[in-house]
Structure 1
Amino acid sequence: MSATPISLRLEPGQKVTLQPVSWEGFEEILADLGERRSSRIAYADGILEIMAPLPEHERSKVLLADLVKTLLKVQKRAWEPLGSTTFKRQDMIAGIEPDDCFYIQNYKVVIGKNRLDLTVDPPPDLALEIDLTSKTELDAYEALAVPELWIYKRNKLTINVLQQGKYVESQTSPTFPGIAVMEIIPQFMQRAKEVGVSQTLAEFEIFILQALSG
């Protein structure tokens, strides 16, 4: 623990950037902040960002994750959701807390695990972010080698696929090949503002079932 604990009172939507921050400093700040907090962190290239999400951000991230779960359910695929788990690697000097994330291809590896070591365990197969604008966050995802990153912002879904250690925008999702998620996800994210989440998820499941059967 550090001698002078970090005391931050961020209002929703605020972000604090600290630099330079060593790996040891990053670990100390994480410990001081504790696990029971609403703020989220991103750390890469000696830059540490601490963010307090807006309420609408939280609603959007839950809905986006539920849409992904529905896709997996309809396809009868197994998965393990790890939410906003803190992922970090000392050898890559990076850490990130996604809005949500899923182990799909590698779901068996994380069953029953409360702590992950990314020097041994694989990163999540798919990570989700709402309104990601920070280069530090993208750099952290790249350093941790997360294969696929979805960014939903202003009713647009961007699919980032890791190729040779860098993200390249893709028109299709390797996790859901054959499904036009770039078009479908924004439609149903918007639909939830009109009819609510539960009805949207029900309509989405029917839509996907029909699309796959057709």
Structure 2
Amino acid sequence: MLLELNQLVVKPGQQLLLKNISWQMYENILEELGEKRAARVNYSQGLLEIMTPLPEHEDDKEIIGDLLKALLEELNIEFRPLGSTTYKNKQMSVGVEADQCFYIQNEAAIRGKKRIDLAIDPPPDLALEIDITSRTRLNNYEALGVPELWRYDGESLEINVLESGKYVKSNISRNFPSLPLVDIIPHYVEQSKIKGRNATIKAFRSWVNSQAKN
């Protein structure tokens, strides 16, 4: 007897791994789960991962995403945030759903598009993963050619930049090379838990402006 997908229960903070999943099965699972769901689905070479995030995971995702938006706004850089959009490449047999993703340099290339097709469109310029309960598989993002990947583990920020098809850890973001974000982002994430979201974003905007004047 075959199990139906809706019979599976993945508790917050846990992940379910399924092996020997074909590309068509992956596509069917995405369609059955729908777009309005809490679970994240990632796929690589026949291995399917379904993960349901914890509240603390979502909290960190939202505040770092808000900090990034404030940073881009204060620097007057056009951008397009696409949240947990599914990015997939059938030829490479890879599909990912980031916690947050941003088009920055390539914003104009996808402006106004309702669907992103990586066969013709560029991947996001920056992706964010919150690695509290599991560790992000870098090879998925490498295969899709995402230039910059941030990973936050609840305490520290790791920036990975793509060089010759492989990620290399860096203390500097290619999107914001003049700012010490590896240290500053975790600081403001912690501040948000003490002073609140609005006060933190306001303070961060002031910091960005002070850096721009230096």
Give the TM-score normalised by the residue count of structure 1. Answer: 0.94
Deviation at 1:4, TM superposition (A): 6.7
The CA distance in 1 between the partners of 2:83 and 2:122, in whole Å, is 16
Q: Which residue of 2 aligns with 1:174?
A: 174
C-alpha separation in 2, matches of 1:114 and 1:92: 23
3-state SS of the aligned residue for 2:5?
coil
CA distance in 1, matches of 2:193, 2:135: 26
1:1-214 superposed matches below 5 A: 5-7=4-6, 8-131=8-131, 133-134=134-135, 137-214=137-214
Aligned partners of 1:70 and 1:205 also within 8 Å: yes
Identical counterparts, % of pairs: 46
Structure 1 residue 40, shift from structure 2 partner: 0.3
The 1-side partners of 2:121 and 2:213 are apart by 36
The CA distance in 2 between the partners of 1:88 and 1:200, in whole Å, is 35
* Greater than 6 Å deviation, 4+ residue runs: none
Task: Give, in angstroms, the shift of residue 36 of structure 1.
Answer: 1.4
State the SS of the aligned residue for 1:105: coil
Amino acid of the residue matched to residue 50 of structure 2? I
CA contact (8 A) 1:5 1:32 kept: no
| Alignment check: 8 A CA contact 2:71 2:205 kept | yes
In 1, the alpha carbon distance for the partners of 2:135 and 2:23 equals 20
Alignment deviations for residues 153-184 of structure 1 (CA, whole Å, 9 cap, x no partner)? 13100000011111110110000011000011
Which structure 2 segments of 5+ residues have no match? none
CA contact (8 A) 1:85 1:97 kept: yes
In structure 2, how many angstroms separate the alpha carbons of the residues matched to 1:177 and 1:36? 35
- What is the DSSP-based 3-state SS (H/G/I as helix, E as strand, rest coil) of the residue aligned with 1:76? coil
CA deviation string 1:66-117 (max 9, x = no partner): 1111111111100011110000010110000000110000101222222111
d(CA) in 1 for partners of 2:142, 2:45: 12
| SS of residue matched to 2:37 | coil
Distance 1:169 1:106 in 2: 22
Q: Give the superposition deviation at 1:9.
A: 2.4
Equivalenced residue count is: 211
Displacement of 1:42 after TM fit?
Answer: 1.1
What is the alpha-carbon distance in structure 2 between the residues aligned to residue 12 and residue 147 of structure 1?
29
Query: What are the ranges of 5 or more consecutive residues in structure 1 without an aligned counterpart?
Result: none
- Letter matched to residue 79 of structure 2: W
What is the CA–CA distance in structure 1 between the aligned matches of 2:212 and 2:12, rounded to whole Å?
A: 40
Q: Write the distance in 2 (CA, Å) between the matches of 1:149 and 1:209.
A: 25
Alpha-carbon distance in 2 for matches of 1:6, 1:32: 8
